Chains A and B, each alone.
Chain A
Amino acid sequence: MDLKSPLSKAKGLGSAKSGFAHWWAQRVTAVALIPLVIWFVANIVHAIGSEEHLLAFVRTPFNAIVMVLFMVSTLYHAALGMQVVIEDYIHCRCMKIISVVGVQLVCLVTAIAGIMAVLALHFSYLML
């Protein structure tokens, strides 16, 4: 005999409810970050050896796009990770909520500003 209601079966969530989405997003961003981090480190290492501005490698469309993907993936992964850390160590309910939302806000603002900076750099190199 099945104790689950038809609605609960349609929703497909178990006792973790919406928590699975967090776990899954953390793993998806982690897998995405493996090639992205390798790409980032390789570019930075190469750029340090060259005479140009350190970030001139975002001149090419490929690099500009991947840099944006790198920033977004990193900050999303960081926000998810910090949420878990905050939930573990901060016990006061209102401070917990303020901290989690605060981290998400900081990551969002940094991501937007970072995307704008990468685009500004990319377009300025295209103009030259």
Chain B
Amino acid sequence: MSGKPAIVNNRPLSPHLSIYKPQITSMLSIAHRATGIFLFFGVLILSWWLITSVYTDTTLWSVFASPIGYVFIALWSFSLFYHLLNGIRHLFWDMGKGFDLQCVTNSGIAVVAGAILLTIVSWVAAFKDIL
């Protein structure tokens, strides 16, 4: 089936987003999807920045040194760390481990805290020549 149906469906739906209390499970799950999507577009941007900077004499380098460039890379790096840590959490679920509610809550908090920590540590390390 493709396109719009001939008869419009006006039947009422049960409420969902309007009534459900946001919880750590659902919020982290949609964040995993949202960071994945943002990482996808970011990877395209970063890859093409790399490709064009190798093949041309463009001044695209300076784009990332601008305030908006820094904000973008900061958001992208946080997304990367969050998606990485939450992805590992998903892999444990795939092995059948960590499904009880307390573990899900605790691992969820650990993932968010870890992502914030890794973002801060990597940015400080990059600009303070620690590594």
Contacts and interface: CB of A to CB of B under 8 A. Distances in A.
Interface SS of A by simple majority: helix
A92 interface: yes
Interface stretch (B13-21, B97-105, B109-117, B119-127): B119-127
Contacts of B26: none
Given A27-B94, A82-B37, A82-B40, A45 B47 contact: no
A105 interface: no
A110 to B, nearest CB: 5
A55 B80 CA distance: 19
Nearest to A47: B126
Interface size class of A (residues with CB under 8 A): 20 to 34
A66 interface: no
B85 to A, nearest CB: 10
Contacts, number: 77
B43 interface: yes
B50 A55 contact: yes
Given A45-B122, A49-B129, A75-B43, A110 B48 contact: yes
Contacts of B129: 49
Contacts of A27: 91, 94
Interface string A57-98: 000000000000001001100100110010000001110000
A101 interface: no
A15 B29 CA distance: 26
A30 B87 contact: yes
A74 B42 CA distance: 12
Contacts of A33: 84, 87
A120 B54 contact: yes
A85 B94 CA distance: 19
Contacts of A74: 43
A24 to B, nearest CB: 10
Interface string A27-55: 10011011001000110111011000001
B125 to A, nearest CB: 5
Contacts of A48: 126-127
Contact of B47 (A31, A92, A114): A114
Interface of A: 27, 30-31, 33-34, 37, 41-42, 44-46, 48-49, 55, 71, 74-75, 78, 81-82, 85, 92-94, 106, 110, 113-114, 116-117, 120-121
